[in-house]
Chains A and B, each alone.
Chain A
């Protein structure tokens, strides 16, 4: 690995965002009694009749965070689309700074993370999920990485910001350079790289070993089965699950494949959806429209969803990011399997692959309209807006491109967003009236 070149190791405490509450949180996250207390609180929540899937999710993150913050297991930072079966399979815990930015925004720490990042010269025109990830890592709100693994597919900012995080922390860095075209050569090159990364991690990070790989692959496949059951249930009209929650739990979809607890979580969630359908206690009772949601959401404010789901009785029936796109993995050939998983990502390769998935979502989930949350700085998704909008127009599906920012509230005009959503719903309504004539 290259030696550290970034000057923040010692002096970064002088950067912006280093407020008193950040110092307090940094200290607390490293105390074992805090993690023990969290465990007690979760058990208490369970005894008080908390929703099982929510308890499962909290418990699993609490578990991973405990391992990572207290250095019980090596914490490996990964970019959003790295198959984390690789990390769990090596006995490590993954940490996704991009996804953690969503947590930071939800808990109100995004401002400090973004400020820290800006004072290190990161442009505010970069995607805030990446900026806040760098900020949280440099402020050490996040656990320290033992190594960083990125994949080159989808966004440029993800891989580059994580590379820079590896320089701030002077830890080993690995890139899976994902070929664009799906071919035998591509698959072979990628599978070889995955094997090399696994060997590299095993060699360079004490405490990692491939001994857990079979188990991680089995976990991933089991979770996948429950997940598919959940997807089938989500096709129900009305929708059995709130879209705002689904958009929060997208974090798990990105983070946790291969973990021992994801199976339990999706099983509990599928059971929950089945119960809702059986009881008829739908979150949006008189569902007027069913939307498909593309990209993420503002994590710092629920206002858009209060408006959509509660005031306008519109469901977000499914999200583009939640679409299951890979085949079951083969434990006999894990690296080839993981390579295939990466190569099947519909956001990678020509745009037709993404359009095909959107089309399937529309069909499978009886979608009336599509909203793309145009995350500021997301060239990967926003760049296809003209194509997506034309494709949907030809299919007769209303489409709204909603400018905003999932983490950096400064880039969002909530009032403008609500007006646009309102106008979009009016448009759908007038179409409905016209069609029923």
Chain B
């Protein structure tokens, strides 16, 4: 399988090449791997440093200084059999899109181990993979609509997104004989993705139906959560346990990985369609797209009635540190949505430090209401 390090690397290309793919979701840096990167590196980057299985490959994007060094460290120390580098532009002007379409085509060639450009047959498969991922994204967008409407907890929403990611990773190659898992080979037929979509649909509906009903206390205050990478769901869990309702999440996983569609109606060139869709999705903090990110967050807050924003910055994530400043200024200019900054590692949501800050933030938002409620 291929571990994708960034939401800007399309799942579609490895899937079309017959390689199961998933966003790298780890439980944290491995203590045995300390020393490869300095300790003042964000935990997400450090978690990527591990010895990968022989048939696993890694795709690192030009996300930030830290991930470029991850690319170097994995190769220098032979920690992964193959490490691909995907050069993602920081803007989305027509030149950037053309460049990225070319870069994605080159990624496909590298995955297919071919010297020349991918053939027409591959393009057809890529179109199938794009349609498949669009359907999966649609399922997830329904899930997060439920979260926004406060019918499903955000922790469950994240769990579903992570499960989808795992199903895509568990989409084993031909050697895997398990019947429950769809088989993916380079010469797969048009129907192969249908089983995958069905499986994801079943998982989603089962998880949603089994979820405990949410508190119908309408006094709970709706908030949004934003950041680069949330690392895990502990923060969201903490926010919900403290009595706040998370009505939107703006982070690498789930939103920036799943909250968009690839439009193929205007072009027959799948790489072009991918480049356009990925570079035009809601921008991540590394992008240079003027005030688009602030406008996006402001709209999210307005649409979902969020009364506050909790910003999570993985400790030592420079992108998040700078992004937070822009958001703080930007939202203030648009009418002062209270913002709480939290810094942390994996599992930070379980620490007293974070709990105290989130509780104090809730008390602040409640303001005068605090006196109304009993224990």
Binding site for B on A (CB under 8 A): 1-3, 5-8, 120-123, 125-127, 152, 154-157, 159-161, 163-164, 167, 175, 177, 179-181, 185-186, 189, 192-193, 350-351, 374, 376-377, 379-380, 382-387, 390
Contact = CB atoms under 8 A, between A and B. Distances in A.
Contacts of B44: none
A157 B286 CA distance: 11
B325 A387 contact: no
B40 A120 contact: no
Interface in B11-55: 35-38, 40-41
B66 interface: yes
B328 A377 contact: no
Contacts of A189: 95-96, 99
Contact of A126 (B68, B72, B291, B318): B318
Contacts of B162: none
Contact of B76 (A120, A192, A351): A351
Chain B CB within 10 Å, residue with most, of A154, A377, A386: A386
A142 B335 CA distance: 31
A175 B62 contact: no
Contact of A175 (B90, B319, B326, B341): B90
A127 B38 CA distance: 15
A290 to B, nearest CB: 26
Given A126-B322, A380-B65, A383-B65, 4 more contacts: A1-B290, A189-B96, A382-B38, A386-B77
Given A180-B85, A189-B95, A387-B72, A126 B321 contact: yes
A384 B333 contact: no
A379 B72 contact: no
Contacts of B291: 2-3, 5
A61 to B, nearest CB: 29
B332 to A, nearest CB: 6
Chain A CB within 10 Å, residue with most, of B37, B68, B89, B96: B68
A192 B96 CA distance: 11
Given A175-B90, A177-B96, A383-B65, A125 B316 contact: yes
Contacts of A6: 326, 329, 333
A382 B40 contact: yes
B73 A386 contact: yes
A121 B40 contact: no
A7 B288 contact: no
A71 to B, nearest CB: 26
A379 B68 CA distance: 9
Contacts of B90: 152, 175, 177
Interface in B65-80: 65-66, 68-73, 75-77
A181 B107 CA distance: 13
Contacts of B318: 126-127, 156-157, 160, 377, 379
Given A192-B95, A350-B75, A379 B41 contact: yes
B114 to A, nearest CB: 17
Nearest to B38: A382
Contact of A156 (B319, B329, B341): B319
B324 interface: yes
Given A2-B291, A180-B62, A350-B72, A160 B87 contact: no
A158 B91 CA distance: 17
20 contacts: A1-B290, A3-B291, A6-B333, A121-B328, A123-B313, A156-B286, A156-B322, A160-B322, A181-B85, A185-B99, A186-B87, A193-B95, A350-B72, A351-B72, A379-B64, A379-B316, A380-B65, A383-B68, A386-B36, A386-B73
A156 B325 CA distance: 15
A390 B76 contact: yes
Contact of A379 (B66, B99, B330, B341): B66
By size class, the interface of chain B is 35 or more
A126 B322 CA distance: 9
B333 A185 contact: no
A84 to B, nearest CB: 20
Contact of B37 (A156, A157, A163, A383): A383
B25 to A, nearest CB: 22
B102 interface: yes
Contacts of A152: 90, 288
Nearest to B324: A121
A125 B72 contact: no
B318 to A, nearest CB: 5
B326 A164 contact: yes
B203 interface: no
B85 A175 contact: no
A1 B291 CA distance: 10
Contact of A384 (B62, B72, B91): B72
A164 B40 contact: no
B255 to A, nearest CB: 21
Contact of A386 (B37, B75, B322): B37
Chain B CB within 10 Å, residue with most, of A2, A152, A160: A160
A376 B95 contact: no
B244 to A, nearest CB: 22
A379 B329 contact: no
Nearest to A123: B321
Contacts of A156: 64-65, 286, 318-319, 322
Q: A-B pairs with the 10 shortest C-beta distances?
A: A383-B69, A379-B65, A2-B290, A351-B72, A160-B322, A6-B329, A123-B321, A180-B87, A380-B65, A387-B76
B325 A120 contact: yes
Contacts of A350: 71-72, 75, 85
B294 interface: yes
B315 interface: yes
Contacts of A175: 90-91, 288
A384 B41 CA distance: 12
Contact of A155 (B65, B91, B102): B65
B75 A5 contact: no
A167 B329 contact: yes
A161 B318 CA distance: 10
A28 B96 CA distance: 44
A121 B327 CA distance: 11
Contacts of B77: 386-387
